[in-house]
Amino acid sequence: MSNAENEIIATNEVETNNAELKANVANEAEINAEATTANQTNEQIPEEVIITAPGAVENSQSSEAGAPADDDEAKKAAELKQQKFNEAFEKIKAAKDNNSTLTVEIKDRIRGGLRVMFEEIPIFLPASHFSLKRNPSEEELQAAIGATIEVKVHELSEDSSNRKTVLVSRRQLLEDDFWTKIKVGDIVEGPVSSIASFGIFIDLGGIEGLIHISRLSQVHVADTKSFAKKGQVIKALVVEVDRDKNRIALSRKDLEESPWSNISEKYPIGSRHKGIVRRITDFGAYIEMERGVDGLLRTGEISWTKRIKSPDEVIKINDEVEVEIISVSEEKKTMSLSLKRTIDNPWIALAEKFPLNSEHMGTVSQVMTQGVIVTLEGDIDGFMPRSKMKNVLRGKKIPYNVGEQIECIISDITPEQESLILAPKAVEQSAPQREDRREPRRSQEPKKSADSNASAFTFGDLLSESAKKILDSATK
């Protein structure tokens, strides 16, 4: 008999005294400890859990009582009882060989488990094989007394003294039943068995299901440990079942009403609402409008006149800002926001304030390959493209630095596109000077050409005088 199977085995028909039973089961921790000790140390199995052939017991009792050994009726009764015992035991062996089930009745709570009966043969059902739980509670074991259940023979053995031991289990049957019944879409409930950074495990009666952190709530969950505590009962939806991997994926958020339901009614386009800045990225900021509803404020929607490189130039995490709803989708769970639209568009007035070709002082706020951003009057950004700086470029290098004050002229302004194009005022002043510097080079070129013509000669210069006359007469 293996160590794993030496837990404590089925009892014989020897009845256990009720007083002793109560003493044995008074403390569940002591019961489990005793069962484990017997299991691991191969102690002698107590008589109370050994099956002895009933004929041997009765013959022994009759002899002790002085009854005649040749009493035909006693012998027949003993033989009949022995026959029934043997037939029942053969059924147990057949169930073991065929991996079939037995129907048994739970009679008593004994040390380490339960005593069950199969056709008057007492059999042992360890507590660890009673349910899917490794350690069922004492209340669960006591409540099972009197119930009829299906079990499988886990171990069957017999020694030279005809002493038999039978151990049964229903754990595998319960597992098969569990995996057969559980389906995607089922709503289940159970206590939190453990908490990990990536999710929460729920005890579904001995088999665990996982609620991944992304499926805990309609609202973003940053820390699983702050979301639930061990032992807390949670209801969830089954979203995936994989018996081969013993994996059950659960979702709690699918049982919650989505905060995006009827979102367009709560946040109609054009309406203004206050929200909290929760996250800033290169392309914008996410604003929490309410728990579970975040809108995106893109960088281009922060200011009418400033060219914003990063939103944190204007707003910070946890700032409360008022924004206008540009678009919203319940299906996609998206919302677009604008900060600049909460104030009047200044571009119509800017077209009058900055007429074409007017001159202004500005501060270089950004230098790029394509050109420079120049800020006028502190909060109005215009763009001076490289194409407008041809006559001030130093090779390919833009001659301006961030923070430098420069004079510029309005080259183009388009309020509809929120576009202000600038050009350097120095273009018109520097052009004549550059032409003067190039004059000396032009004046030297003809002189150089004249010198070369003076030393030039033609093919006719190589002919003799007689050849020239012949050539002249031929051309006339």
- The pLDDT tens digits along the chain (476 residues) read 433 333 333 333 333 333 333 333 333 333 343 344 334 333 334 455 556 655 544 444 444 545 554 567 777 777 777 778 878 888 888 988 888 999 999 998 888 888 898 887 888 898 889 998 888 889 999 999 999 999 999 888 777 677 778 889 999 899 999 999 999 999 999 999 999 999 999 999 889 999 999 999 988 888 999 999 999 999 999 999 999 898 999 999 999 888 999 999 999 999 999 999 999 998 999 999 998 899 999 999 999 888 888 899 899 999 999 999 999 999 999 999 999 999 988 888 888 888 888 899 999 999 988 899 999 988 899 999 988 888 888 778 888 899 999 999 998 988 888 889 999 986 444 444 444 444 444 444 444 444 444 334 444 544 555 555 555 554 44
CA separation, residue 124 to residues 28, 31, 115, 243 (Å) = 17, 15, 5, 29
Kindly report the pTM of this predicted structure.
0.56
| Structure tokens given for 322 | 């008022």
- Residues 56-66 as b/e (b if ≥16 CB within 10 A, e otherwise) read eebbeebeeee
Whether the CB-CB separation of 43 and 71 falls below 8 Å is answered with no
Picking from 239, 169, 248, 237, the residue whose alpha carbon sits closest to that of residue 207 is 248
Which of these, 172, 173, 55, 168, lies nearest to 122 by C-alpha position? Answer: 168
- Domain endpoint, select from 210, 233, 255: 255
Domain boundary among 300, 319, 342: 342
Q: Are residues 463 and 419 in the same domain?
A: no
Domain co-membership, 239 together with 275: no
Q: Is residue 54 part of a domain?
A: yes
Whole domain around residue 118: which residue ranges? 3-175
Residues in contact with 57: Cβ distance below 8 Å, sequence separation at least 6, in sequence order: 13
In a domain, 222, yes or no: yes
Dihedral angle over CA of 453, 454, 456, 459, nearest 10: 110
Token pair in block for residue 313: 């130039």
Residue found by looking up tokens 């304030």 in the block:
353
What was the pLDDT predicted at 12? 33
One DSSP character per residue, 201-260 reads EEESSSSEEEEEGGGS-SS--S-HHHH--TT-EEEEEEEEEETTTTEEEEESGGGSPPTT
Residues contacting residue 285 through CB under 8 Å, at least 6 positions apart? 277, 279, 296, 297, 311, 315
**Do 99 and 20 share a structural domain?**
yes
Residues 62 and 204 occupy one common structural domain:
no
Q: Is residue 203 part of a domain?
A: yes
Asked whether residue 9 falls in the same domain as residue 29, the answer is yes
Tell me: do 325 and 196 sit in the same domain.
no
Q: How many domains does the chain contain in total?
A: 5
Q: Which of 149, 175, 201 is the last residue of a domain?
A: 175
Q: What is the DSSP letter of 137?
A: -
Distances (CA, A) of 394 to 372, 391, 399, 400, 426: 15, 9, 6, 10, 13
Residues 284 and 297 in one domain: yes
Both 162 and 14 in a single domain?
A: yes
Neighbours of 317 (CB within 10 A): 11
For residue 406, the domain's CATH number is: 2.40.50.140
